[in-house]
Amino acid sequence: MQIVTKTIKISTKGNPDLINITDEVVDILNTSKLKKGSLTVFVVGSTAAITTFEYEPGLRRDVQDFFEKLIPSNKNYHHDATWGDANGFSHLRASLQGPSLAVPFDNGKILLGTWQQIVLAEFDNRSREREVVVQVIGE
């Protein structure tokens, strides 16, 4: 049993940037040479999240519309008064969606569906340099 921990660095454009990181995650799995086990994808920070969806332009807009309606970016939040950075909506969205995803692999293949991509959701109200930790545990 082995543990491989790598970090993907990604420049985002700020909310509502949705970035497909499946290829980068699979590259790390392939390089690890591990054949069965689980990988954890974890975004460091409190204004971004990890999710999975079919990465195509229509659904990207749907996801963006959904979050804008559920947790509007033009509303005032108590958090905004704390730091004056007006990104309360970013924190709320990130907390709800969550920073972490576990995906099993077997026979050296990640067990995602064909239309199930791993996506970094940038919710912050400015561009960011993101670190996504990919940790592979297996043999």
Q: Provide the binding-site residues for its own copies, judged by CB under 8 A.
A: 1, 3, 5, 36-38, 40, 42, 44-46, 51-54, 56-59, 61-63, 65-66, 70-71, 77-82, 88, 91-92, 94-104, 106, 111-113, 115-116, 133, 135, 137-139
**Least spacing, CB of residue 115 vs its own copies, in Å:** 5
Q: How far is the CB of 128 from its own copies (least distance, A)?
A: 11
Residue 8 identity (one-letter amino acid): I
CB of 108 to its own copies, least distance (A): 12
Letter for the amino acid at 44? V
> Closest Cα to residue 60, out of 129, 126, 119, 128?
119
Q: Which amino acid is at 6?
A: K
- Residues 57, 41: Cα–Cα separation, whole Å: 23
